Structures are given as structure tokens and as C-alpha cells.
Amino acid sequence: MAIYAARRILASVPILLLAVTAVFFAFQVIPGDPAHLFVGPDASQETIEAVRRELGLDRPVYVQYLEYLRRLFRGNLGLSITTRLPVTQELGARFANTVKLAVSSIVLATVIGVLLGTIAAVKQGTFVDHLATVVALMGISIPVFWLGLLMMYLFSVELRLLPSAGNDTWRHYFMPALSLATFSLAFIARMTRSSLLEVIRQDYVRTARAKGVPELFVVARHALRNALLPVVIIVGLRFGYMLGGAVVTEEVFAWPGMGRLLVTAVGQRDIPVIQGALLVFATSFVVVNMAVDLLYGFLDPQIRYQ
């Protein structure tokens, strides 16, 4: 297991380096001068040139790239153009809020999705199965922003039960978490159903039933335990997507997270903040994928032996 873990961790290093390189060079080809944005539109040309020298923008691109890597290893993401604060400080609290929303959403999606998929598999071909399939298809098809606006209109405007924005209490989490979890919930439900149907047809499940084991124990202790192995992969991947894909949800519900900060930074052309946010998203996704690989190798010994 230690060798398998070491190989997976080492395999993630070039992926992270590739992500850092892509983020750096992407901003070398887009129009706009960071020095001009940094000093403002009324600055003189002499001031702009001085800032360019101070920021190292007058150096060759490969020198800027190496300096960028050196600053990253030291945890320095630069200064925000709009607030003049360190980017790490700007991202710190926002990333914590995004993690809270993503964790709430993935827990909700996993619990409801596994339960819905299990019921659909056990009741295969019945009205319950068809209803669960329709719900799953609706969850995959409904756009996140439209669902968020509908819930906001129903629960905040009409019923006045839940606040429409903010993250102060648990009541603020319900609509954003459910909105973000809907697609993943439907995906997990479909994966659980298909995986459980495949396992239920195995010989050891038939043997357990033939011995008179109650159906609840057959499903919960024998079938579902093995059926959830591929679902673990889906849950991990969806959690990684939630960390980077909560932009729309955070914007709709005014959630003070990384996604909303990124949208604001794009509107203000705050390049250091945009770069920092993209790097955090990329790093989070790589780390989550690596953790899922390690967990899957722990749960299935055949994976790490191969």
C-alpha cells in the first residue's frame, strides 16, 4: 500500500506543474497590461514603466516563469490589483466558505443519491424505479442557476422560510447546498442503481437469499457494500468538481466563496487574484483525485496489486 500511495503522489506532481504552467502562460497571451491595471488609468507612462520593472514584467517570459515558480514555492501569490492585499489573504477565508458549501452538498448528494439508487435497484421495473429514474434525469437536466432561482422564489419570496443570501446560520446552507448537490445526487443515484443491479445478480447474493437471510441484510451487508466501490470514485470526482464548479451557485445566492471572488476578479481584471483562484481550484481537484485513488486502492486490494 505504501508503494502504491507513493506512486500516486509522484504521479500528481507533473499534473500540478502542468496546471501551474497553463495558468501562467494563459495570462501571457490575453490582452491588457497588468502594470497599467495596477497603477490605474490616470497614471503616466513613466509610472507604468516603473511598475513594470518593479513587477518584473520587463524581463523575458522564461525569467518571469521561473520567478513565478519560486514565489509559488514560498507561498507568495502576489498582490491584488484592486485591494492591494496579498492574494493568499484574499483567498483564505473565501476558500473555507467554498469547502463548507462543497462538503454540505456532497454529503447531501451522497446520502440521498445512494438511498434513491438502492430503492430503485431493489424495486427494479416497478413504479418506484421509474419514478426514481425520472427524478434522476430531472436532476441531471435542470440548470443549477434556474433551480437556485426557483428555490429562492419559493422559499424566500413566497414562503419566507429561508434567507436568500449569506452564510451566517445553517438556514443559509439549505438552498445553496441543495442547488449544488442536485446534479451530483442524480448522477450518484444512477451509478448506485446500475452497480447494485450488477452485484445483486452475483452467486453469493443468491446463496445468501437461499440460506434465508432477510432481504434487508442481503442488500445492506452483502450487495450494497460491494456495489459502493465504483460510487466512491464518483463521489470523490463530484466533490472535486464542486470545489471548482460552485461559481454559479455562489453567484446566485451571494455566497462569499471562491467562485464569487473569481467572478468579481474577472470583472475587475484582477489578474493575480484570478491566477491564484485558478491555481487553488486546480490543486484542490488534483488532491481530491489523488485521495480518491488512495481510498479506492485501500478498499480494493486488486487495484494496488496491479
The number of beta carbons lying within 10 Å of the beta carbon of residue 257 is 27
- Between helix 271-299 and helix 258-268 the angle, nearest 10°, is 150
CA-based R_g, the chain, Å: 24
Classify domain 96-258 at the CATH superfamily level: MetI-like (1.10.3720.10)
pTM given for the model: 0.80
User: Does 33 have pLDDT greater than 60?
Assistant: yes
User: Does 305 have pLDDT greater than 60?
Assistant: no
Tens-digit pLDDT profile for residues 217-267: 677 776 777 787 788 888 888 888 888 777 888 888 888 888 888 888 877
Residue 306's pLDDT is what?
52
Torsion of CA 39, 41, 43, 45, to 10 degrees: 100
User: Does 27 have pLDDT greater than 80?
Assistant: no
Residues 300, 303, 306, CA angle at the centre, nearest 5°? 145
Q: Work out the pLDDT band at 55, boundaries 50, 70, 90.
A: low
Tens-digit pLDDT profile for residues 65-82: 888 888 888 888 877 877
Across residues 162-167, what is the average pLDDT?
79
Most confident of 70-79, 89-98, 105-114, 293-302: 105-114
DSSP tag of 78: -
Cell numbers describing residue 61? 517570459
Q: Work out the pLDDT band at 107, boundaries 50, 70, 90.
A: very high
Nearest CA to 243 out of 275, 284, 279 is that of: 284
Domain boundary assignment for the chain:
32-76, 96-258
Cβ atoms 176, 138 nearer than 8 A: no
